[in-house]
Amino acid sequence: MALIFEVSEYQERLRKVKESMLRKGIQVLIVSDPANMNYLTGYDGWSFYVHQGLVIALDYDEPIWWGRGMDANGAKLTTWLKHDNIRPYADDYVQNVFKHPMSFVANILREMGWENRHIGVEKDNYWFTGQCLDVLREELPKAKIHDATSLVNWIRTIKSPAEIKYMREAAKVCEHVMKTAIDSIEVGRLESEAAANVYHAMIKGTDEFTGDHPAIFPIMPSNERTSAAHLGWKPDRKYAPGDIILLELCGVRFRYHCPLSRTV
Amino acid sequence: MALIFEVSEYQERLRKVKESMLRKGIQVLIVSDPANMNYLTGYDGWSFYVHQGLVIALDYDEPIWWGRGMDANGAKLTTWLKHDNIRPYADDYVQNVFKHPMSFVANILREMGWENRHIGVEKDNYWFTGQCLDVLREELPKAKIHDATSLVNWIRTIKSPAEIKYMREAAKVCEHVMKTAIDSIEVGRLESEAAANVYHAMIKGTDEFTGDHPAIFPIMPSNERTSAAHLGWKPDRKYAPGDIILLELCGVRFRYHCPLSRTV
């Protein structure tokens, strides 16, 4: 287990989530957003292409992590949770049209006696699919399902001193990334070479602070592509005289981002 | 407009999708998966954190792209679609709890006279949320909604010669990436420095083929972290004598991936 915050910080986050659940009349919350999973437990694996999440109940101490069997070790290594609260599902739940991971979650809820409760789901979060909703309704016909889409996200908006420290460090990385980008853009050079230098600076960071990979690729379109909001570089194109390049970059420190935008 | 395939290739893909729709009794298909959007139209913007997609009807020539207003220029620059078939929604649809982009899609369907048809949705794809499903059911009470989760994905499994060419080029980039990783892992070096070199190699590519950013970060855990399936490097850790490192890397060429796994 190697957490980037004290366990007490995660527990304080959980306390605030439970407080918000109580205010909204939600007894059990199913969290699907990977960033929210990370925020509450530290879980940090690239496993979100399969269904996974947390179950949080007002009267249960820790979140219950549920996910694919092969990711359970990752959960043991990156979260503060007791191993009993890490609940892996078998691989035949993976992309099986006859057997859905939300049935596995419903089983946990039944086992805990929570199946008829007021249940909050992140209903418009893109890790909670239409199928998740239908399976949950079918499996737990007596539950009252509530939309709790941004419940955790609103709590995340107020940063702790420890988080602000990482964001300040990310800002230092960001300065370095932006400088690298500006220095790398030169007539005759491939756009992909400038982008490669930007990525290198993002991941390696500065001598003081190591970086991290970004949640969004470097936005660095040239010329007519600057008229669009979310385009990257053009791999095979070389910079030409008179080019305008839009730079929307960031520095990252332990998943905490600091973005910056410039035109060159 | 700068496509990486001939327009005829996109049209052939569309023809196959319509053939599959016909077989499954689906008259209108709503595509939400960004990779499927790219496959069918070329659309290539980092804009999937807002609702966006395609509408494909058996009796309508082109897909209709729908998405956020600020991304419409990106759609004009990266797809083969007529500008009339690019349908942007206003910004007050973005993360508004009272107004959902799926209502905008329902408006398009009504306008085209498709509101009572058999409509396929990518129901268990994580870009189609529970809320999307509920809004669509509410807006189009007479439509018959079908699960078409992997319809496009099954068609994508059979690669064209042009796609295989990019995959072979991605394999060349992948060899270079793997070699860079092995050369970068050294006792006393920060794991983040090796990861930075790996990213640089991925994006810059070889002298022959430029690379691209990967859909998954470099999986390169060390020691006890190799017991888990999907962990990355540990930014602040230095490699130590006797370390075992699991490498699951890839080369990418215009979004086409070629993965490779090794242990060092």
Are residues A50 and A21 part of one domain? yes
CA distance A247 to A179: 11
Are residues A214 and A170 part of one domain? yes
Residue B81 confidence class, pLDDT cut points 50, 70, 90? very high
Measure B230 CA to nearest chain A CA, in Å.
Answer: 5
Residue A2 lies in a domain: no
Measure A19 CA to nearest chain B CA, in Å.
Answer: 22
Among B133, B156, B179, the domain boundary falls at B156
Nearest by CB: A46 against B197, B232, B234: B232
If we measure between CA atoms, which residue out of B38, B67, B34 comes closest to residue B50? B67
Testing the interface with A: which of B154, B231, B234 to mutate, by most A Cβ within 10 A?
B231
**In whole numbers, what is the pLDDT of chain B averaged over residues?**
97
Q: End-to-end CA distance of chain B, in Å? A: 43
Cβ contact B130–A127 (<8 Å) = no
pLDDT at A191: 97
CATH number, position B110: 3.40.350.10
Mean pLDDT of the region B226-230: 94
Are residues B139 and B169 part of one domain? no
Among A134, A156, A178, the domain boundary falls at A156
Testing the interface with A: which of B119, B200, B239 to mutate, by most A Cβ within 10 A?
B200
Alpha carbons within 13 A on the beta-carbon side of A95: 9
CB B14 within 8 A of CB B56: yes
Per-residue pLDDT tens over the stretch B20-47: 999 999 999 999 999 999 999 999 999 9
Per-residue pLDDT tens over the stretch B121-161: 999 999 999 999 999 999 999 999 999 999 999 999 999 99
Mean pLDDT of the region B194-199: 98
Nearest by CB: A195 against B123, B203, B254: B203
Percent of chain B, pLDDT > 70? 100
Q: Which domain covers residue B183, as residue numbers?
A: 161-263
Are residues A175 and A74 part of one domain? no
Measure B110 CA to nearest chain A CA, in Å.
Answer: 22
Nearest chain B residue (CA) to A49: B126
pLDDT at A2: 76
CA distance B70 to A229: 6
If we measure between CA atoms, which residue out of B236, B243, B248 comes closest to residue B222? B243
Among B156, B190, B210, the domain boundary falls at B156
Per-residue pLDDT tens over the stretch B86-111: 999 999 999 998 999 999 999 999 99
The count of structural domains within chain B is 2
pLDDT at B237: 96
Nearest by CB: B210 against A123, A230, A236: A236
- Amino acid occupying residue B29: L
CA distance B243 to B189: 12
pLDDT at A1: 55
Testing the interface with B: which of A52, A119, A200 to mutate, by most B Cβ within 10 A?
A200
CA distance A135 to A209: 45
- The answer on pLDDT for B1 being more than 90 is no
What sign for the dihedral angle of Cα B85, B86, B91, B94?
positive
Are residues B171 and B149 part of one domain? no
Nearest by CB: A123 against B131, B230, B231: B131
The SS3 call for residue B146 is strand
Are residues A130 and A18 part of one domain? yes
CA distance A121 to A28: 9
Residue B7 confidence class, pLDDT cut points 50, 70, 90? very high
CB B144 within 8 A of CB B118: yes
Residue B2 lies in a domain: no
CA distance B45 to A231: 5
Cβ-based contacts of B78 with chain A (< 8 Å): 231
- The answer on pLDDT for B120 being more than 70 is yes
- The answer on pLDDT for B233 being more than 90 is yes
Residue B122 lies in a domain: yes
Nearest chain A residue (CA) to B100: A124
Nearest by CB: A212 against B131, B229, B235: B235
Mean pLDDT of the region B219-245: 95
Residue B2 confidence class, pLDDT cut points 50, 70, 90? confident
ipTM: 0.94
Beta strands across the sheet bearing B28-31:
B86-89, B64-68, B53-57, B28-31, B118-121, B144-147
Measure B128 CA to nearest chain A CA, in Å.
Answer: 6
Which of the residues in chain A have pLDDT under 70? 1
Cβ contact A130–B126 (<8 Å) = no
Are residues B147 and B68 part of one domain? yes
